[in-house]
């Protein structure tokens, strides 16, 4: 039995959910998201909550996953999701130009990245080396943040690169003298 799958997803007054032909649409103050669930999982909408039930034994693997995705959609359209990245290194910087993020991270060229639709990328007002990525879709926010981080991962000797805010980089000692 799935402990996550058993829990109902609570809908607030600001959230409106509709079910039709295996697709669930969630609409809230920050936007609208949709998800097509597996056919062997049943999604039931009652007054102000959504419950998920497996239809057979094969669906037990998707039961908790479907419930978690629906819950993330509800949280996304009410509160939204945010990831913050920090750039460390001499000469490392970034610029936001409309729907494009331009990174200057030690290569001979600048790295241009298109910001996906539904996401906002902004610089922090106080800290000049911090990027904030916000949006309603948890998966899209996390995926874009991971793509930015993958452009220049933090290295263990000097700590240069792009890392998540609050992420601890395990440092190594450099060459040791004899």
Residue that is last in its domain, among 53, 78, 103: 78
CATH code at position 152:
3.90.930.12
Residue 170 lies in a domain: no
| Same-domain check for residues 100 and 135 | yes
Residue 40 lies in a domain: yes
| Same-domain check for residues 91 and 59 | no
- List the chain pLDDT tens, one digit each, 178 residues: 678 888 999 998 999 999 998 899 999 999 999 999 988 899 999 889 999 998 988 888 888 899 999 999 999 999 999 999 999 989 999 999 989 999 999 899 999 999 999 999 999 888 889 999 999 999 999 999 999 999 999 999 988 999 999 999 999 888 874 4
Rg (CA), the chain: 21
| Same-domain check for residues 85 and 110 | yes
141 close to 81: Cβ distance less than 8 angstroms = yes
Which tokens is 115 given?
């910001």
| Same-domain check for residues 56 and 124 | no
- 116 Cβ contact partners less than 8 Å away, ≥ 6 residues apart: 140, 144
SS (H, E, C) 69-92: HHHHHHHHHHCCEEEEEEEECCCC
What local confidence, expressed as pLDDT, does residue 1 receive?
65
Residue that is last in its domain, among 37, 56, 78: 78
| Same-domain check for residues 91 and 45 | no
Q: Which domain holds residue 127?
A: 81-164
| Same-domain check for residues 114 and 74 | no
| Same-domain check for residues 87 and 73 | no
| Same-domain check for residues 37 and 51 | yes
Residue 64 lies in a domain: yes
Number of domains in the chain: 2
Alpha-carbon span 161 to 154, nearest angstrom = 4
| Same-domain check for residues 107 and 145 | yes
| Same-domain check for residues 10 and 66 | yes
Residue that is last in its domain, among 78, 106, 129: 78
pTM, rounded to two decimals: 0.89
For residue 149, CA distances in Å to 66, 84, 86, 105, 146 come to 28, 11, 9, 11, 5
80 close to 140: Cβ distance less than 8 angstroms = no
CA of residue 166 relative to chain centroid, distance: 16
| Same-domain check for residues 113 and 148 | yes
Residue 137 lies in a domain: yes
| Same-domain check for residues 62 and 92 | no
- 163 Cβ contact partners less than 8 Å away, ≥ 6 residues apart: 85, 86, 88, 149, 154, 169
């Amino acid at each position: 039995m799935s402990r996550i799958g058993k829990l109902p997803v609570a809908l607030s007054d600001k959230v409106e959910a509709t079910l039709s032909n295996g697709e669930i649409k969630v609409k809230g103050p920050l936007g609208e998201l949709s998800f097509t669930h597996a056919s062997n999982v049943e999604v039931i909408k009652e007054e102000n909550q959504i419950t998920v039930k497996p239809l057979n034994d094969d669906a037990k693997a998707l039961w908790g996953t479907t419930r978690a995705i629906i819950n993330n959609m509800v949280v996304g359209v009410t509160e939204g999701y945010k990831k913050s990245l920090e750039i460390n290194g001499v000469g490392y910087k970034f610029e936001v130009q409309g729907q494009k993020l331009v990174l200057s991270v030690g290569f001979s060229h600048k790295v241009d990245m298109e910001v996906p639709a539904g996401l906002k990328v902004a610089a922090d007002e106080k800290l000049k080396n911090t990027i904030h990525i916000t949006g309603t879709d948890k998966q899209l926010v996390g995926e874009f943040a991971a793509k930015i981080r993958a452009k220049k991962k933090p290295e263990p000797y000097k700590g240069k690169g792009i890392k998540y805010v609050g992420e601890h980089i395990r440092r190594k000692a450099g060459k040791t003298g004899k």
